[in-house]
Amino acid sequence: MPAFTIKSIPSDIYGKLKLSAKTHHRSINNEIIVCLERTLQVRRFELDAFFSRIEALQKQASLLPLTDEIL
């Protein structure tokens, strides 16, 4: 498995990383891997929840309903 070294990590970022690793019961190395995976993975979302949120915002802003023609 490939490995690399990260140099000059600001102390505040290192502190947050160390605290997060401790909170999640992981090593700092594993915490870095999790952070990279979360950042680099394609984010998926629930389409129904997305459209529900759009409808709620439309009602709040008094906008017309979202239709296939508009899309």
Read off the pLDDT of residues 1-39 as tens digits, 9 standing for 90 and up: 889 899 999 999 999 999 999 999 999 999 999 999 989
Distance, in Å, from the CA atom of 24 to the CA atom of 37, rounded to the nearest integer, reads 15
- Sequence-distant (6+) residues with CB within 8 A of 64 are 58, 70
Whether pLDDT at 42 is above 80 = no
Q: What is the pLDDT of residue 54?
A: 85
Give the pLDDT mean for 42-65: 81
Q: What is the reported pLDDT for 18? A: 96
Position 69 confidence tier, pLDDT thresholds 50, 70, 90:
confident
